[in-house]
Amino acid sequence: MSQYPWHTSHFSCLTRAIMSQLDQPEIGRQYRHMSWNVFVSRRIPTEGMDLLRQSGAEVRLHDEESPLPRNELLAQLRSCDGVIIGGGERVDAEFFDAAPKLKVVSCLAVGYDNVDLAEATGRRILVTNTPDVLTDAVADLTWALILGVARRVVEGDRLARSGKWRGLSPTLLRGVDVAGKTLGIIGAGRIGAAVAKRGTGFSMRLVYVARSAKPEMEALGGRRVTFDEILRESDFLCVHVPLTPDTRHLFGEAEFRKMKPTAYFINMARGAVVDEAALVRALRETWIAGAGLDVYEHEPQISPELLPMPNTLLLPHLGSATVETRRRMSIMAVENLLAVLDGRPCPNVVNPF
């Protein structure tokens, strides 16, 4: 017997209920009553689960926030028509071999670097994601990292709770100003543009790197620069690129050495965009002033050398983790899966064929 709890449910409702006008699906849309077999790899918000159960599918849920051991995950796939991936589970040839009936992998995420798209496409399995709905949440948390590391918020919180604070002192935990500094954005897509827009409230100079000029960045006073220029000029350098063969280890020792010794590095993209060992050295040897990180090269493991560093602010991959955003993501992931299984068009397929 597995040590993990499971829930298996059968429902025959043909229509979903409306949950709210802003966050929930439309009223009255119908699904074909099919006996689809669906596995959900992690606990997801109840709104998404309710919608899935209303579809008439047989649903099995791994009702935990932690991932299943690999062998147990694979054992759950044999009869699946669809899978909702709630975390960073590796979806590769071994995964597909264990799921001979699989038609769709629905990722509850905007990123899908954990999925072997070529393998999925070769097997005629569609892969979907949840874009757009998390833009504001990720941009907000980017700014939490910027302000938190610049103003030494975590160190201050720790001191206040320790009982060792002896009162106001002119030299206590001095941080750096954010207003008027240079904000660098690498990856000027929706999230990068949202981060840049927030920077205007701090009267920041904006520079960005993109394959072509971005009107939304130019409208904010942004200046498109080369990669080397953004490394040299940025006071706060924010990374918002997908993980691809071209962006893996985009940042290594050479790149960190080109940055200002007063600069802060913010990574909200994917951990493997950064050579974490090089970042550790850059922080230890003060090539840069500090770093705010939400992602790591070998998640959930974090380099032990990063943990005690006072010039870092470390978060456990919380970019989209708000109640509202995760609700929308769970609903979108379910809608994507049901659209594919039902033979309807799905706008969020990342490997159309």
Which residues belong to the active site?
270, 299, 317
Q: Using CB atoms within 10 A of its CB, is residue 71 exposed (0-12), middle (13-18) or buried (19+)?
A: exposed
User: From edge to edge, which strands make up the β-sheet containing 205-209?
Assistant: 223-224, 205-209, 182-186, 236-239, 264-267, 290-293, 312-314
Which residues lie across from 62 on neighbouring strands? Answer: 6
Q: Tell me how far apart the alpha carbons of residues 150 and 245 are, in angstroms, rounded to a whole number.
A: 31
Q: Tell me how far apart the alpha carbons of residues 291 and 268 are, in angstroms, rounded to a whole number.
A: 11
Rg (CA), the chain: 22
Contact assessment for residue 275 and residue 252, using Cβ atoms and an 8 Å cutoff: yes
First CA to last CA distance, the chain: 39
Q: Tell me how far apart the alpha carbons of residues 295 and 220 are, in angstroms, rounded to a whole number.
A: 27
Contact assessment for residue 81 and residue 36, using Cβ atoms and an 8 Å cutoff: yes
Q: Tell me how far apart the alpha carbons of residues 300 and 317 are, in angstroms, rounded to a whole number.
A: 9
Question: What are the structure tokens assigned to 18, written together?
Answer: 């409306």
> What are the DSSP E strand ranges found in the chain?
6-9, 37-40, 58-62, 82-85, 104-107, 126-128, 182-186, 205-209, 223-224, 236-239, 264-267, 290-293, 312-314
Cβ within 8 Å of residue 16, ≥6 positions away:
25, 29, 31, 51, 54, 55
Which run of H or of E encompasses 277? helix 276-284
Q: What's the gap between Cα 205 and its chain centre?
A: 26
